């Protein structure tokens, strides 16, 4: 007799298999053209696989990701990540060129040089990844489905909500914003899986748009943060007197910081309200108040230790 949890494990397996195929497809496009969207989609697929890997520490998913896939993911993620960041920075510079009506030729030239170097690096790393003959993940085993993985996934969601509640209190610290971004992204991926893949669970049909909007806003903040860091490094690498000779770079720095902060305006309130929305859904599982609100001490103590 098949375990009642088999179907859920199968859904998990299929989700992972889909992400694996998406990763492979976009990897091929990246190899061929280094298309911006393909690089982005390849990284999204990798992040989803990584979330599942993270979940595996907390839930008993019967899917083993082979070592060669893990190695390929690591290499592709690292190299493509650098190129993706650079593409974003070039787009941001283009945006600021229009906004400030200045060419920033020196920085533009610098980014183009980095792009050439990175393309060469990707050629020497991603091109070595080859899946020929290993196009599928290993099949699901027949036995071993005693645990309710959906319950475990929902417990995982609850833990993420607690972490996010802690981190929004520390939003004035930029390091914590990066941590918050990662936590929200993980929550986003697991909710995306629960809301779309498995019909009989609390989050099935959950409206992803508000969380997507928050993920994007905090992602944009992150892009501008890295752009600002790259700009700062570039200015420091220039000869003495560069800032005096090209004062427009100070304006660029100011615009970057200003725009960056705009993305964080009241984002804590919006995230808080979305967490309340999720807690309201969790109440259906457990009529008593959600752990986050029921145990403020834990929430705040952990926030202190962050």
Partner 1 sequence: MANKNTDKFDNKQHTDLNLQLNSKLGINDFDKMMDDTFEETTDDVDRNDEEDVDQKQAATIPDAAETSELSPTNLEIPEIISKNELIENATRAKIRTIISKQEQVLEIKEENLNKLMADFDLHTRKRKLTKKALKKAKELKLGTDKMDLIKMDLKQTKEMLKSCKARVEQEESDIKNQRRLIGLLETIL
Taking the complex as a whole, the smallest distance from the CB of residue 292 to partner 1 amounts, in Å, to 8
Q: Of 103 and 269, which CB lies nearer to partner 1 in the complex structure?
A: 269
> How would DSSP label each residue in 4-15?
TTHHHHHHHHHH
Alpha carbon 228 to chain centroid, angstroms? 20
**In sequence order, what are the residues at sequence separation of 6 or more whose Cβ sits closer than 8 angstroms to the Cβ of residue 84?**
36, 39, 40, 43
Q: Of 117 and 280, which CB lies nearer to partner 1 in the complex structure?
A: 280
**Is-contact 167 302, C-beta < 8 A?**
no
Q: Of 58 and 296, which CB lies nearer to partner 1 in the complex structure?
A: 296
Considering CB under 8 A, how many residues would be counted as binding partner 1? 20
Which stretch of DSSP H or E encloses residue 275?
helix 267-282
Contact pick of 119, 134, 173, 296 for partner 1 (by CB under 8 A): 296
CA dihedral over 92, 98, 100, 101, signed as positive or negative: positive
Binding string, residues 265-284; x marks residues near partner 1 by CB under 8 A: -x-xx--xx--xx-xx--x-
Taking the complex as a whole, the smallest distance from the CB of residue 306 to partner 1 amounts, in Å, to 10
Distance between CA atoms of residues 289 and 277, nearest Å: 13
Token pair, residue 11, equals 């859904």
Distance between CA atoms of residues 162 and 61, nearest Å: 23
Binding string, residues 116-135; x marks residues near partner 1 by CB under 8 A: --------------------
Q: Does 207 bind partner 1 (CB under 8 A)?
A: no
Q: Does 300 bind partner 1 (CB under 8 A)?
A: yes
Binding string, residues 164-183; x marks residues near partner 1 by CB under 8 A: ----xx--------------
- Per CB under 8 A, residues contacting partner 1 are 168-169, 266, 268-269, 272-273, 276-277, 279-280, 283, 289-290, 293, 296-297, 300, 303-304
């Amino acid at each position: 007799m098949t375990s009642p949890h088999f179907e859920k494990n199968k859904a998990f397996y299929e989700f992972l298999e889909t992400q694996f195929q998406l990763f492979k497809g976009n990897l091929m496009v990246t190899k061929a053209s280094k298309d911006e969207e393909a690089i982005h989609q390849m990284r999204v697929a990798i992040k989803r696989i990584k979330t599942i890997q993270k979940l595996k520490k907390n839930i008993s998913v019967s899917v083993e990701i082979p070592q060669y896939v893990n190695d390929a993911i690591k290499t592709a993620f690292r190299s493509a990540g650098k190129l993706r960041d650079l593409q974003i920075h070039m787009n941001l510079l283009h945006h600021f060129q229009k906004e400030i009506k200045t060419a920033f030729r020196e920085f533009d030239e610098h980014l183009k040089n980095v792009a050439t170097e990175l393309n060469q690096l990707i050629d020497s790393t991603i091109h070595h990844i080859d899946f020929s003959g290993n196009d599928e993940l290993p099949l699901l085993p027949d036995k071993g489905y005693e645990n309710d993985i959906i319950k475990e996934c929902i417990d995982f969601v609850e833990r993420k909500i607690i972490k996010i509640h802690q981190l929004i209190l520390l939003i004035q610290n930029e390091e914590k914003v990066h941590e918050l971004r990662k936590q929200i992204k993980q929550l986003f991926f697991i909710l995306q899986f629960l809301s779309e893949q498995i019909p009989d669970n609390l989050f099935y049909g959950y409206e992803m748009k508000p969380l997507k909007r928050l993920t994007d806003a905090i992602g944009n903040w992150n892009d501008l943060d890295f752009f600002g860091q790259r700009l700062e490094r570039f200015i420091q690498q220039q000869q003495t007197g560069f800032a005096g000779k090209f004062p427009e770079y100070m304006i660029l720095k100011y615009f970057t910081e200003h725009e960056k902060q705009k993305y964080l305006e009241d984002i804590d309130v919006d995230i808080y309200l979305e967490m309340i929305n999720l807690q309201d859904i969790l109440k259906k599982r457990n009529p008593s108040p959600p752990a986050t609100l029921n145990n403020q001490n834990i929430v705040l103590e952990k926030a202190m230790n962050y």
